[in-house]
Amino acid sequence: MIDIKLIRENPEFVRENIRKKFQDRKLPMVDEVIAYDAEHRAILQEVEAIRAEKNRISKEIGKLMGQGKKDEAMAIRAKIAEDDQRAKELSERDKVVEAEIRKRMLLIPNIIGEDVPIGKDDSENVEIERFGEPVVPDFEIPYHTEIMESLAGVDMDAAGRVAGNGFYYLVGDIARLHSSILSYARDFMIDRGFTYVIPPFMIRSAVVEGVMSFEEMDAMMYKVEGEDLYLIGTSEHSMIGRFIDQILPEASLPLTLTSYSPCFRKEKGAHGIEERGVYRIHQFEKQEMIVVCRPEESPMWFDRLWQNTVDFFRTLDIPVRTLECCSGDLADMKVRSLDVEAWSPRQKKYFEVGSCSNLGDAQARRLKIRVQGEDGRKYLAHTLNNTCVAPPRMLIAFLENNLNADGSVNIPKALQPYMGGKTVITKK
């Protein structure tokens, strides 16, 4: 959510930002906000004038009563009662006006960063850099669930009977590999100075509204029936929600946190053949990074966060690349976003395994997360988030890039301590 002062003072700048995101349907909202905001300020001005007049003439009532001018005093009381009724009506109208303003402000997209490429959708995202040499072995690489099945590591059929499509059982060495990757990611981020946190896995609607757009919420969130609770789609939601309506001492910033959580997502819509198996699922686990910082520091933290993910994947012998998300692919609250994609030797292309986002002060404005400087001035914090690793999708990249011709899977050195010293997983 942007500052309403920006709409008042530079509405054409806001309109141009909407056009860059190819959301022309939202252009009328700018004029609507301006009109409602003008009405809101006029109401406040009239209510303030009524109160000032009431305070002034109320002092006359006692004087008039003391002088025996009861009729005049009663006339003033009647005038005060009329003014009170008018102020009440104005206040009720103002609640409606403020609700209309907020409804539109929640839909008007955040101002995108200067470096964001302009494009309609993810097909126009821009490759930035590659890390590691993509390799295609001289033997055929099976589909990822076939690799897992050959290692007696997955049961999709049973999961379908128990919970339906989009769920899985991981078994044996594959289940252990899954947990080992998360444990290694936890320690990797702690070693980089981040504080480890396990957050709530459900959040209230006020937090949902504060951390994501309505479009994202409808496509992602599962609601708990009969309660004001939603299952989180990522730990970023509850991690940022932790600071709702808080004033943070400037000296405490930056807050650099890494969190573990299960994640639950609806994953609406049809998906291609490459998104079967454990690629696009309703339940997975993730190690996340979250930063709350001063506004001037957020560009620096954005670069540090995505670099952490690149470094993590490279320690596991997985080639990756980074993509700058174009304007049309940015969620409404994001200033900038960069995807990390892992190499798939089977597909001979890269696929997304993580996303780094700078949200500027959008989440902080919605959730009222403020910072108090040493001079006493209060301002909005900036928030950022990034995926360190999200198995089981990451397992696809891991298995394909570490697969041997005999069907065994190598365990990189960094992960061996978490696998009980195993150097290879062999076919069952």
Residue 233 pLDDT exceeds 70: yes
Q: What is the mean pLDDT of residues 205-210?
A: 93
Pick from 91-95, 220-224, 320-324: least confident: 220-224
Model confidence pTM above 0.85: yes
Is-contact 178 170, C-beta < 8 A? yes
Same domain, 134 and 248: yes
Of 73, 105, 137, which marks where a domain is finished?
105
Does 113 reside within a domain? no
- 35-39, 79-83, 95-99: segment of lowest average pLDDT: 79-83
Q: Is residue 251 part of a domain?
A: yes
Same domain, residue pair 94 and 205: no
Pair 136, 31 in one domain: no
Same domain? For 58 and 155 the reply is no
Q: Which of 59-68, 237-246, 282-291 has the lowest mean pLDDT?
A: 59-68
CATH number (domain holding residue 415): 3.30.930.10
Same domain, 139 and 201: yes
Give long-range contacts, CB 8 A cutoff, 24+ apart: 417-420.
418/179, 418/180, 418/181, 418/183, 418/184, 419/176, 419/177, 419/180, 420/176
In a domain, 259, yes or no: yes
Same domain, 231 and 258: yes
Residue 217: what pLDDT?
77
Among 105, 132, 151, the domain-final residue is 105
* Together in a domain, 400 and 255: yes
Average pLDDT over residues 95-116: 96
Pick from 58-67, 74-83, 277-286, 414-423: least confident: 58-67
Please tell me the distance from the alpha carbon of residue 329 to that of residue 367, in angstroms, as a whole number.
24
391-401: average pLDDT: 94
Question: Residue 397 pLDDT more than 70?
Answer: yes
The rounded distance, in Å, linking the Cα atoms of 12 and 31 is 10
Domain span at residue 95 reads 4-105
Q: Say what the pLDDT of residue 260 is.
A: 97
pLDDT tens string 131-164: 999 999 999 999 999 999 999 999 999 999 999 9
Question: Between these two residues, 273 and 225, which has the higher pLDDT value?
Answer: 225
Could you report the per-residue pLDDT of 319-373, keeping only the tens digit for each? 999 999 999 999 999 999 999 999 999 999 999 999 999 999 999 999 999 999 9
303-313 pLDDT tens trace = 999 999 999 99
Determine which of 113-122, 160-169, 244-253, 273-282 has the lowest per-residue pLDDT on average.
Answer: 273-282
Produce one character per residue of 216-244: b if its CB has 16 or more CB atoms within 10 Å, e if not.
ebeebbbeeeeeebbbbbbbbbbbbbbbb
Residues 347 and 233 in one domain: yes
Q: Is 194 left (phi over 0), alpha (psi -120 to 50) or beta?
A: beta
Q: Are both 21 and 149 inside the same structural domain? A: no
> Is residue 216 one of the residues assigned to a domain?
yes
Q: Is residue 313 part of a domain?
A: yes
Residue pair 261/239 in contact by the 8 Å Cβ criterion: no
In a domain, 16, yes or no: yes
Is there a domain that residue 114 lies in? no
The confidence score (pLDDT) of residue 65 equals: 64
Task: Report the 3 state secondary structure along 303-365.
Answer: HHHHHHHHHHHHCCCCCEEEEECCHHHCCCCCCEEEEEEEEECCCCEEEEEEEEEECCCHHHH
* 22 and 158 part of one domain: no
CA-based nearest residue to 379, from 284, 257, 296? 296
Give the mean model confidence (pLDDT) for residues 247-276: 84
- Residue 111 belongs to a domain: no
pLDDT tens across 158-190, in order? Answer: 999 999 988 999 999 999 999 999 999 999 999
In this prediction, residue 303 carries a pLDDT of 97
Confidence of residue 220 (pLDDT cuts 50, 70, 90): confident
Domains held by the chain: number: 2
Render pLDDT for 62-88 as a digit per residue (tens, 0 to 9). 565 666 676 676 777 777 787 788 899
Do 75 and 144 lie in one domain? The reply is: no
- Residue at a domain's end among 76, 105, 134: 105
**Whether residue 188 sits in one domain with residue 84:** no
DSSP collapsed to 3 states, the chain: CCCHHHHHHCHHHHHHHHHHCCCHHHHHHHHHHHHHHHHHHHHHHHHHHHHHHHHHHHHHHHHHHHCCCHHHHHHHHHHHHHHHHHHHHHHHHHHHHHHHHHHHHCCCCCCCCCCCCCCCCHHHCEEEEEECCCCCCCCCCCCHHHHHHHCCCEEHHHHHHHHCCCCCEECHHHHHHHHHHHHHHHHHHHHCCCEEECCCCEECHHHHHHHCCHHHHHHHCEECCCCCCEECCCHHHHHHHCCCCCEEEHHHCCEEEEEEEEEECCCCCCCCHHHCCCCCCCEEEEEEEEEEECHHHHHHHHHHHHHHHHHHHHCCCCCEEEEECCHHHCCCCCCEEEEEEEEECCCCEEEEEEEEEECCCHHHHHHCCEEECCCCCEEECEEEEEEEECCCHHHHHHHHHCECCCCCEECCHHHHHHHCCCCEECCC
